[in-house]
Amino acid sequence: MANEKKIDQVILGLLSHTDMTGYEIKKRMDTTLSYFWSGSYGSIYPALKTMEANGLVTSHSYSQNGRDKISYSITQSGRDTLSDWLKRPATRDELHYETLLKLFFAGEGSPSQALAHIAAFQARTEEGLPYLTRSVESLRAIQDNPAHMYYMLTAMFGEKIYNAYLEWCEEATSMIQEYEKKTQNSD
Amino acid sequence: MANEKKIDQVILGLLSHTDMTGYEIKKRMDTTLSYFWSGSYGSIYPALKTMEANGLVTSHSYSQNGRDKISYSITQSGRDTLSDWLKRPATRDELHYETLLKLFFAGEGSPSQALAHIAAFQARTEEGLPYLTRSVESLRAIQDNPAHMYYMLTAMFGEKIYNAYLEWCEEATSMIQEYEKKTQNSD
DNA sequence: TGGCTCATGTAATCTGTTACATGATTCT
DNA sequence: AGAATCATGTAACAGATTACATGAGCCA
């Protein structure tokens, strides 16, 4: 009955803001949503087809700059579906930190490997943080629209945990380096 | 060639510390690893069977308190597989925060719904935090073993981000409440 | 006695990724 | 000219969850 497929809800949510093509939806996931959601073309395009067949979205094809595009709009039925989903409590948050997993078992490897995993994680985080900081700043300025407040809140979440990541990276790195110094082990 | 199936690596990692039954592996995931990994019986038991067939683990059945158990041990081949995996960089961390998703689209719902999602997230976080704090404290005391340092580092990670979650929950809650006051909207 | 936890397991299903294919346009 | 990006899409596969089944022991 109730549509629980998450990818559908994400797409409906994005379309509730503005019309988009499948390609744009993917891009949006890779930027605005990247710190709390992800999805591939292989899930987006089929989901759009299915939802159109079910009357949750409509499409119209057009050409822009010589490129063929298919833009999707949310229907009232789609809005109702999204609204129903928003009413229900979140079932759970699915977090799979491969980095943490490798660190947890790092006793089977070497300290330098552990340091490398942390450094890679740190680099990725540092790369993503400026985008979040900019988002928070620009959204703080425009308080016209309730939706903008919610965007800001999620961006604030991202900014906060990214900063927590970076703090942790520094602490963890120096603890492992201390340990290396004490044991004088090479690998 | 190289075994990339994550559930296999998690199990090998746990077995690298000590022998365990499938049931114990599941329990461990739900406690020690819960803030960065999860898995179900439906993935654990079949993985154990397959890995036994491939010589990565061995099993022995016994009875304890009248209960039949199957305990698994990691083999040298299993350790090699784990070690190979630890050498390779983490491909990516998969984070799916359903809570954030519902908040991002909360403009299509009501402020009270948004507050409810945050409150539920806060409650779950508050429930899990004491376990992490205790883990960090007890692991800080025993610095005998490199493996313990890595456990502590992951627990520290959990503690840090859980505290960041809670800070954010308070900020987000009061911002939404401010907004509600300004607009005097009921839902 | 009834309900919960311990303990193992399977089948159906879901959901999604990866890798590929296609072809046009824009950038260098 | 060649590489990268825009843009859509599919097929094969991977990986995991859910729901169920079974049965024993423990607690109130």
How many contacts, defined by CB atoms under 8 Å, are there between A and B?
211
pLDDT at A2: 46
Q: What is the mean pLDDT of residues B33-51?
A: 96
Contact residues, chain A, for B171 at CB < 8 Å: 156
**pLDDT tens digit sequence for B109-164:** 999 999 999 999 999 999 999 999 999 999 998 877 889 999 999 999 999 999 99
pLDDT at A185: 53
Mean pLDDT of chain B: 93
Residues whose beta carbon sits under 7 Å from strand D: A 21-24, 27, 41-42, 45-46, 48-49, 64-65, 67-71, 91; B 4-7, 38-43, 47, 65-67
pLDDT at B37: 96
Q: What is the mean pLDDT of residues B56-72?
A: 94
C strand bases under 7 Å from protein CB: 6-12, 14-20, 23-26
The partner residue sitting opposite B171, judged by closest CB among A9, A151, A156, is A156
pTM (2 d.p.): 0.93
Put simply, the answer to whether A160 touches B168 (Cβ < 8 Å) is yes
Hey, which residues does A96 pair with through a beta bridge? B94
Contact B34, B132 (CB under 8 A): no
Q: Who has greater pLDDT, B184 or A115?
A: A115
Amino acid at site B29: M
Rounded CA–C1' distance between B73 and D14, in angstroms = 26
**pLDDT tens digit sequence for A43-77:** 999 999 999 999 999 999 999 888 999 999 999 99
Contact A159, A125 (CB under 8 A): no
pLDDT at A1: 35
Count of CB atoms within 10 A of residue B55's CB? 12
Residues (pLDDT < 70) of chain A are 1-3, 184-187
* Residue that the structure tokens 């719904």 belong to: B113
Buried b (16+ CB within 10 A) or exposed e, B29-53: beebbebbbbbeeebbeebbeebbe
Write down which residues 65-94 in B have CB closer than 7 A to strand C.
Answer: 65, 67-71, 91
